Chain A
């Protein structure tokens, strides 16, 4: 009884301490620039909710972020560190461009579906290459993933400056904009395309169901916990690992597709904008627990959007949102490590 109460107290106080430590570190960074932390926090924490435009921007960031984090919760369950998620998002964006450029006059709905499928396939393929490197060449998925990120980003530059360059002149800023009718429809005068958050929420629900209710999910978790024992019990461990990578890649690829058809309306050289790696932080903080993915993804997206006003109003760089996000994850990991 007594130990239970103690354990409960520790479970409550540890995350709070981690939260306090993260804010303390960020405040130190703010104080060092001579800015009032309270004023900065007001913008970072609540700025995203101040106007409808900012709110819609936040949702359009949260959607791909959630997709990546949901995908990563699959690979985490399978015991893999898929740092290649950024590259998978880029590969998805490039693959999504293919049908859009090939048949621009087909019906938009068909094209969106095709772009989604193509983006998912591109991301999955990119992830499977990592799986193949791990399985057949003994390369750690962490290093394979990082390498593939560079490759994907190089490929975008090549496409933007080469085969898909602007008709006027090649520019690093990206390809020509897609025809207006191919832009994912948005709410009146806002940049919010409702399809994006809907897709992300559906993905969250499906993955939660697959991981907790299906045989496949149980096998994936078994492989993640102990591949040798799972194999002894008859689970095809290598196959399950490849499947988790492919699933994560597909979701990241769909996130990349959304960046193309709903946000930038073109392939730009920085199409992934670090969303994949931010998704890694979200998944780490949520400990791949699906219940926490949505609130944390929303919080991180609002930090990022809220901090955009910092340079204008307080004259400091918006990167402080990154400091806060990073510090949160760091102290959460420390507090968990101390517990175990």
Chain B
């Protein structure tokens, strides 16, 4: 099936995730869709699969405009989407999962469904047991089941969102072979990925999204030079000469030390980490969403206990001690979503300072309000001590969160510290973090913004597909090299050199 979108626009609040997109995908081919985080890939795919509805523009299947009211509607029209995290019913067997959401009339009987499933599995080279429960299967196997379910339910267009995350190399090979087979049978495959090598290996065409638009307008035939694609994805990065300061030699023991740590969160597993994070450094974690940065930050904050190995904070073994013990050891964690798990929206800044007071039966209101007033002056927060945090703007919330870091903090973990802030606020926040660094803190932050990583890091650690690279001094890194590493280009060589 030939699918096309015309002037497709989708806004989330002030953000225009898809801005007048016009693009078409021919049948019988595998189409790669590339773009950095927030470029609008997922939004476009969800629009095509009916999960969300466009604000403007239209979707055209085989020259017929379609309005998709939901994913079921899209499947009847012939479009099925395989999500990064399987969207199935884990307590069901493979066969039950196939039957429960099938459009009416697709299968005549349980037996007919089973026969059709086994035939298709044979053709695609997926080993499958119809009676196995989904929660007993690996992510890769569940993905295979989902692909077969969509095809059996009549999908002519198959959308795969980051399908190789969390599956084994063998499963990835099997997946690629199956996708080639599916395309050869005349169906359309959309392959969303940030791994350039996979797109180069598999896809007939490529579409690059940047800031909600297709750059350059229209599809490109594959192959394309890697540098060109990187430039399209990330822009012409690294034009300005880097300004950096030489790293001082630090005698203090490392704030964090990881010894042979293996940790798992969801589908992602970080294996055999050995790192020392020195005091007096700002360390940027670069990588596409879900490459392991969040897992690493939560491990260092004590929110995730390692399956194996040791986590030391200031030389003390805190393996599995829990986030409260990490906090008492001087670790401060600043989450990206400030009101979700950062601060309590209904309480004021003074209330927050009161919460941080230690000992004593009563709240020392006067002292808490005094501290809040001082923080408001120091950090230029636009609020009164008794304004609820939820009533503050994003930038002021972020400053409040920084003001609440105890003075004796040794390590600060920040998830996207400048998320949603204007340039001036972001600069103010970074000034504060740099001051903390100069006082001997170790600041580790993750950011999807490469410019931010390049501008503020003393060292950069690249995360790629659940692997954590060695720290690279900022002075040795160019923006284009960073963009390559994030896409996995030369990542193996980097890890080998570090060994």
Check: B324 CB closer than 8 A to any chain A CB: yes
Interface size range of chain A in the complex? 10 to 19
Chain A residues within 8 Å of B341, by CB: 226, 228-229, 232
Looking at B89-97, B140-148, B149-157, B359-367, the stretch in contact with chain A turns out to be: B359-367
Q: Known contacts being A215-B354, A218-B355, A234-B324, is A225 close to B360, with CB within 8 Å?
A: no
Subset of 20 A-B contacts with CB under 8 Å: A214-B363, A215-B354, A215-B360, A215-B361, A216-B361, A218-B355, A219-B355, A221-B347, A225-B345, A225-B347, A226-B344, A229-B340, A231-B324, A232-B323, A233-B343, A233-B356, A233-B404, A234-B324, A234-B327, A234-B355
Q: What's the minimum C-beta distance from B331 to chain A, rounded to whole angstroms?
A: 11
Q: Known contacts being A213-B362, A225-B345, is A233 close to B352, with CB within 8 Å?
A: yes
| In the complex, chain B residues 370-418 whose Cβ is within 8 Å of any chain A Cβ | 404
Interface size range of chain B in the complex? 20 to 34
Alpha-carbon distance A157/B327, docked complex (angstroms): 49
Check: A235 CB closer than 8 A to any chain B CB: yes
Check: A230 CB closer than 8 A to any chain B CB: yes
The 4 closest A-B pairs by CB, nearest first: A228-B341, A226-B344, A225-B344, A229-B344
Check: A198 CB closer than 8 A to any chain B CB: no
Alpha-carbon distance A233/B354, docked complex (angstroms): 11
Q: Once the chains bind, are B342 and A229 in contact (CB under 8 Å)? A: yes
Chain B residues within 8 Å of A229, by CB: 339-344
Check: A236 CB closer than 8 A to any chain B CB: yes
Using a CB–CB distance below 8 Å, which chain A residues touch chain B?
Answer: 213-216, 218-219, 221-222, 225-226, 228-236
Chain A interface helix/strand/loop/mixed: helix
Chain A residues within 8 Å of B342, by CB: 229, 232
Check: B357 CB closer than 8 A to any chain A CB: yes
Chain B residues within 8 Å of A219, by CB: 355
Alpha-carbon distance A259/B335, docked complex (angstroms): 50
Alpha-carbon distance A290/B404, docked complex (angstroms): 30
Alpha-carbon distance A222/B354, docked complex (angstroms): 11
Apart from A213-B362, A233-B352, list 11 A-B contacts with CB within 8 A: A214-B361, A214-B362, A215-B361, A222-B355, A225-B347, A229-B339, A229-B340, A230-B355, A232-B333, A233-B343, A236-B324
Alpha-carbon distance A128/B341, docked complex (angstroms): 26
Task: Closest A residue to B368 by CB, please name it.
Answer: A218
Chain B residues within 8 Å of A213, by CB: 362-363
Q: Of A215, A230, A234, A236, which one neighbours B363 at CB under 8 angstroms?
A: A215
Task: Closest B residue to A210 by CB, please name it.
Answer: B361
Q: What's the minimum C-beta distance from A6 to chain B, rounded to whole angstroms?
A: 19
Q: Once the chains bind, are B347 and A222 in contact (CB under 8 Å)? A: yes
Q: What's the minimum C-beta distance from A240 to chain B, rounded to whole angstroms?
A: 11
Chain A residues within 8 Å of B361, by CB: 214-216
Taken residue by residue from 314 to 331, chain B's Cβ proximity to chain A (1 for < 8 Å, 0 otherwise) reads as 000000000110011000
Chain B residues within 8 Å of A230, by CB: 344, 355
Chain A residues within 8 Å of B356, by CB: 233-234
Q: What's the minimum C-beta distance from A235 to chain B, rounded to whole angstroms?
A: 6
Alpha-carbon distance A229/B344, docked complex (angstroms): 6
Alpha-carbon distance A231/B323, docked complex (angstroms): 8
Q: Of B324, B335, B346, which one neighbours A225 at CB under 8 angstroms?
A: B346
